Structure 1
């Protein structure tokens, strides 16, 4: 049986204030106080895994071992059927600018264009099925862990549509909808997203709700 979190402090293995706020709001009703790895001065481990689950566990275990507290990490990305699951764990890397492309940072339009270009190379009948994945990993300092996997299936469109999302949202149409993630708005997106799916599984397992 999976160990239960209960109340108390939980380290969120991120240096992103926005992600800490989002996860903290989801766990606040269960009496969990969230601290970020960044606020504790914990280093960011190299994400060397070959799957979302491996990378999430790398981050969660590193934060748990360094802090002595339970830790939660997530890893997420887009998989495209016709591209053999790519970009997958390299979802963010596909948006990284090279040294000759300007200032450091991520260019998501470039990343979306890369996916579209590869589909165009396959031809007009290319399978546009895709899915967003999110894996949440809980780890305790003694090595025990739990993993929760969420998924939102859909298809890709071009050109990008909408301004409400981020990443690949403007080209992803969730199954059963006509609008992209970037058109339906954050509240509607949260109800059906891969992250919502993973969190629902975590909450059901950890808090029985």
Structure 2
């Protein structure tokens, strides 16, 4: 059993209720309401059938991990929703509705959603893991793409947005950080419930 570990001191905190944890550890929340006990857990912790391998990022809505879906033996991007949202009935209803719509969406330019639900008290969405990170990371590490490459990326992302719109979803948070690109097809990442709205 993984015991609690001290988090590094920092002057900033997040909606998760603590500062970002030290490198090499991931942030996992104990089940409970907002403001309840929270603790970091070592790599290898489990949320249902998912075993956490590393933390990929943290945002206002939650934490994204690289995880192993052990019953299928595949790696996924596992987003665990922050309790501030996860315990909001209205948010949960919208999250479930939009996650179902995304899971049914088939597009070469939208990251595939494999599963969503609640395991061990954690609300999550598991999606296709794209090696290489997002477009924003690529630009920061390698500089801006050539004009030809930029136009290709724009065309592919636009195709993904059109497919999402046809499925009844409108992405309202398109930016380099929400697009994946690793030398292959550019893809929109799954649409968070707070960054999407029904297509009219």
TM-score range, shorter chain: under 0.3
Q: Could you say which structure has the greater relative contact order, defined with CA pairs below 8 angstroms and 6 or more residues apart?
A: 1
Q: Which has the higher strand share?
A: 2
Q: Which has the higher helix share?
A: 1
TM-score (norm 1): 0.24
